[in-house]
Amino acid sequence: MRRLALSDEILLSIQQPARYIGGEVNMTVKDPSQMDIRFAMCFPDVYEIGMSHLGIQILYHMFNRREDTYCERVYSPWTDLDKVMREEKIPLFALESQDPVKDFDFLGITLQYEMCYTNVLQILDLSQIPLHSRDRGDSFQFPIVIGGGPCAYNPEPLAEFFDLFYIGEGETVYGQLLDAYKEAKKKKKSRREFLEMAARIPGIYVPAFYDVTYREDGTIQGFKPNNPHAPAKVTKELVVDMDSVSYIEKPLVPFQKVTQDRVVLEIQRGCIRGCRFCQAGNVYRPLREHGVEYLKRHARQLLESTGHEEISLSSLSSSDYTHLPELVDFLIEECRAKKVNISLPSLRIDAFSLDVMSKVQDVKKSSLTFAPEAGSQRLRDVINKGLTEEVILQGAMEAFQGGWNRVKLYFMLGLPTEQQEDMEGIALLSEKIAEVYYDTVPKEQRHGKVQIVASSSFFVPKPFTPFQWAKMCTKEEFLDRAYLVKNKFRAMKNFKSLKYNWHEADVTVLEGVLARGDRKISAVVEAAYRNGALFDSWSEEFDNSLWMKAFDQCGIDPDFYTVRERGLDEVFPWDFIDAGVSREFLKREWLLAQKGQASPNCRQRCSGCGARDFGGGVCYEDKD
């Protein structure tokens, strides 16, 4: 019997105790005393969010294939258990062994979204690990704290709290890092000596080995290594041959319902589309596909080892996967007998995609999701969406004639060059889609009224996108734009068939600060955490006043990071990272955006982004 870190009394007093007990189906069990390396893999949010993340599952199984390593999991305790742990001085623990995280060799924290940053400090604090890397001494008394994930492409707002950052895809050099750690321990090297060994490994960034200088206006003057082992540029790691890396064979199966309670099959990485607002579409270039036989084999393994009732195909743009028809036909045959549903997110609006969805969905159609992103063709060209109104309406017509009557539409407000007609276009396009239903579907074939739900998020310029130079709206400007769109919806003749909602504006503004912040923002994150900020991505927990107080305490104006448009030659906090797309390409796309000119996707013509031969990889068109 495993000893649980929490008593029965505590488990019975908190919400969803299954979050903290481990023991799930397919959980890895090893003898910690026989391991050279113990790695605590953390998702800094609650269990049901973290358990739905594919990257954690991939790394968990990859690490545990090593005979010398035991990888365990840790998630953020919800506020009820957080309070108990502080009062009772219970150190944060890993689910598998229930041992304290502070006794591990590594604490790896994935950074999937900016609004988890105060939860990172909660993890360190509850683990009884000093928040600042400089306070962890020169021994191995505390774990090596390493960050990764998409937000690591601008690690500077968290630079004070991490020993290392892993830039890029985890399957490539983690083995080298773990081997270096074993060597350092064997030769009785210091913590600093190990960090120097790590800094020489491609893709590894050690913040302590770099100095930042600032100009009088607050912009960065220089960013230079202060240690001879640290490179001036840290180059992202990339898996070139997707079929050369192993996939999950036996995914962890949670005891309780999680956000994505299904098997996930990653079919490709990268994207050919070139949307100018999309960070993932840039940093994960070039497009790399899994072979269809590889996917068939792993789909069988995943279903047999879990008992899940749904399998989802994961990618940034599933429609662009070369062998999608063959894969879908295989899954339909494989899943029919097992009564397993197939989920196909990230499909484009076209006849092919709708035909695929018709094959895999029940007679009772679920809602379709389209992402026009902008309400006018002019603005869709600015953001390089590659989607015309004609294609959108044609796709809607084919969907309605195929039996769907519910459509979700996703837009953004506050995009560069946005005008009033672009905003009003959100309501106009939504109504045009509703009209397609009533104009093209005979009454006797309709499944009730059409339902169009349009949602707006607010635009945040992200690093390594052509829009990294753009300014953001203020909270008030965002809300004014949302109300303008809302009022336009109210004026639509099909208003009862239309629904409109929008994201929280103050959360978006804060996300913009954290996304483009420099090292000075570390102090703000810490101050907000000490003020009580936690679970900022949860609407019911987010308190903007705690953050505004933190900015005041640190003497930092958030507008400096948001509403200020950058000069083309400004040094960004993330410029020391080579993410595969060149600054010249991003600048060129930014200037084209301001002219309203679209660029072709990667299959139509290479735009010279720099990723074509990155790391030995090739763009998709070169395989023909």
Confidence band for 581, pLDDT divided at 50, 70 and 90: very high
Flag whether pLDDT at 623 surpasses 80.
Answer: no
Q: Can you name the residues that pair with 458 across neighbouring β-strands?
A: 413
Q: What is the pTM of this model?
A: 0.95
Mean pLDDT computed over 550-571? 96
**Of 31, 32, 34, 12, the residue nearest 21 (C-alpha):** 12
Q: Looking at residue 246, what is its pLDDT?
A: 87
Flag whether pLDDT at 357 surpasses 90.
Answer: no
Q: What is the pLDDT of residues 385-418, one digit of tens each?
A: 989 999 999 988 988 888 888 899 999 999 999 9
Confidence band for 361, pLDDT divided at 50, 70 and 90: low
Residue 321 amino acid letter: Y
Confidence band for 622, pLDDT divided at 50, 70 and 90: very low
% of the chain residues with pLDDT over 70 = 96
Q: CA–CA separation, 6 vs 90, rounded Å?
A: 8
Q: How far is CA 601 from CA 79, 257, 320, 416, 590, in A?
A: 45, 39, 11, 21, 16
Mean pLDDT computed over 440-458? 91
Confidence band for 617, pLDDT divided at 50, 70 and 90: very low
Mean pLDDT computed over 303-307? 91
Least confident of 197-211, 255-269, 336-350, 527-541: 336-350
Least confident of 387-396, 601-610, 611-620: 611-620
Q: Looking at residue 200, what is its pLDDT?
A: 98
Could you give the strand order of the β-sheet that contains 406-413, starting from the edge strand earlier in sequence?
Answer: 368-373, 406-413, 451-458, 498-502
Give the helix/strand (H/E) hosting 109: strand 106-110
Q: What are the start-end ranges of the E strands in 484-614?
A: 498-502, 577-578
Q: What is the pLDDT of residues 245-294, one digit of tens each?
A: 989 989 999 988 898 889 999 999 999 999 999 999 999 999 999 999 99
Confidence band for 364, pLDDT divided at 50, 70 and 90: very low
Mean pLDDT score of the chain: 93
Q: Looking at residue 570, what is its pLDDT?
A: 97
Residue 81 amino acid letter: L
79 CB burial (10 A radius; 0-12, 13-18, 19+)? middle
Q: CA–CA separation, 576 vs 374, rounded Å?
A: 32
Q: Looking at residue 362, what is its pLDDT?
A: 53
Q: Looking at residue 368, what is its pLDDT?
A: 81
Flag whether pLDDT at 352 surpasses 70.
Answer: no
Q: Looking at residue 363, what is its pLDDT?
A: 39
Q: What is the pLDDT of residues 70-125, one digit of tens each?
A: 999 999 999 999 999 999 999 999 999 999 999 999 999 999 999 999 999 999 99
Mean pLDDT computed over 590-602? 96
Q: Looking at residue 355, what is its pLDDT?
A: 76
Is 141 or 449 the better-scoring residue by pLDDT?
141
- CB within 8 A of 48, min separation 6: which ones? 16, 19, 254, 256, 257, 258, 259
**Looking at beta carbons, which pairs linking 172-176 to residues 24 or more positions away fall under 8 Å?**
172/202, 172/203, 172/237, 172/238, 172/239, 173/201, 173/202, 173/203, 173/204, 173/237, 174/59, 174/62, 174/63, 175/66, 176/201
Q: Can you name the residues that pair with 213 across neighbouring β-strands?
A: 222
* Strand duo 498-502 + 234-235: pairing: unpaired
Give me 359's structure tokens.
């094959």
